[in-house]
Amino acid sequence: MRAIGLGPTPMVYYAVHELKADGGLMITGSHNPPDYNGIKMMMGKAPVFGEQIKALGALAASGDFEQGSGTLETVPVFDRYIHRLLRDFTGATMAVAWDPGNGAAGDAVTALVKRLPGRHIVINADIDGRFPNHHPDPTVEENLEQLKQVVIREGMDLGLAFDGDGDRIGAVDRTGHVVWGDQILLILARHLLKEQKGATIIADVKASQVFFDGVVQAGGKAEMWKTGHSLIKSRMAETGAPLAGEMSGHIFYKDRFYGHDDGLYAAIRFLNAIWAQGGDLARLRQEMPHVLNTPELRFPCAEDRKMPVIEGVRDRLSQSGAQVIDVDGVRVLTEDGWWLLRASNTQDVLVARVEARDEEGLTRLKDLLRGQLKQAGIEPPSDL
């Protein structure tokens, strides 16, 4: 057993690869409330999830496992990890504000920026699981308000934020506008596809159609896959995709890296990509096609009802001739845009999202989704 100390979750992923370990464990509650904790696991270099976790639980409950003695040594990898992050930096000289949100990436961010050119400001770097300044979830715009203020007040080119255990990234441009996970991924994809024409880029089912269209226009193959970082990692291994990501800010690089999600490594590659495309994140965001979409809408649904509801919606729509993508829940395509209904992997909730080209289309799509929920006996959320 080797202990590597306090750090972001991706530091464990790095250590498993570099130390040629048989597996890895990270104690983390990520961005969950302070009284939550958990364990992220690797078996070999692959994630452990789903039925594998259930099987481990059953094995532990039965007590039917080998026992014996072992050794414990402390192996410092922090400095090596920072060095590895910097290896692929290509020299972007920018003004960047960084917000690790008092999460486990605080020390790593501080060490990283000391070795980067340009002007840098780090806020909320002290590691404090009570999260005294804001919750460390960069997918919630409220949590980015402090970063926005710093970026605008100090005249920074952009701001980068991370979640509680440092495996997800969020961003704001110089004007204070949020650059969402699928927009970050598209900017990264365009940069990578200049070197790897025809490469497959994977995004989860919640991503904007702007992303999928943009990858194709840049000469790549866009694949839509199930939400969940372990599911995305597994799909990357199956397809050989060099890059993947989720709306939640998980960014996975197999190109020059290990194939796992690392918010800090994604930040390095993001700076490279912005610099290579003119150095102005605000312009890159503004040049993307304009669409209207809802935030991720979540509403309660009992665990034993989630899949029957999804299956019922899928069957009704398929019988009506609707264009349905059912890779994860149902994503319904119309001339106005699309709407999504899927079951959460981790909570007793259904998740919905709607995207359209204009306000009228957004209203029509919301009406369609509300109608399907009512047919399933689910009260639509008030914000739909």
Q: What are phi and psi of 136, to 5 degrees?
A: -85, 65
Catalytic residue chosen out of the listed positions 30, 208, 230, 248: 30
Helices (DSSP H) in the chain: which residue ranges? 9-18, 51-62, 78-87, 106-113, 145-154, 181-193, 209-217, 229-239, 263-276, 281-286, 303-319, 359-375
For the question of residue 30 being annotated catalytic, the response is: yes
Can you state the percent helix, strand and coil of the chain, rounding each to 5?
Answer: 35, 20, 40
For residue 225, what is the DSSP state? E
Amino acid at 98: W
Cβ neighbours around 217 below 10 Å, total:
12
Measure the CA–CA gap between 161 and 138, rounded to whole angstroms. Answer: 6
Who contacts 188 (Cβ-Cβ below 8 Å, separation ≥6)?
A: 243, 245, 251, 266, 269, 270, 273
Measure the CA–CA gap between 176 and 113, rounded to whole angstroms. Answer: 21
Measure the CA–CA gap between 99 and 264, rounded to whole angstroms. Answer: 11
Do the strands 297-300 and 349-356 form a parallel or antiparallel pair, or are they unpaired?
A: antiparallel
The burial class, CB within 10 Å (0-12 / 13-18 / 19+), for 138 is buried
Collapsed DSSP state (helix, strand, coil) of residue 367? helix
Place of tokens 């309660």: 300
Looking at the annotation, which residues are catalytic? Answer: 30
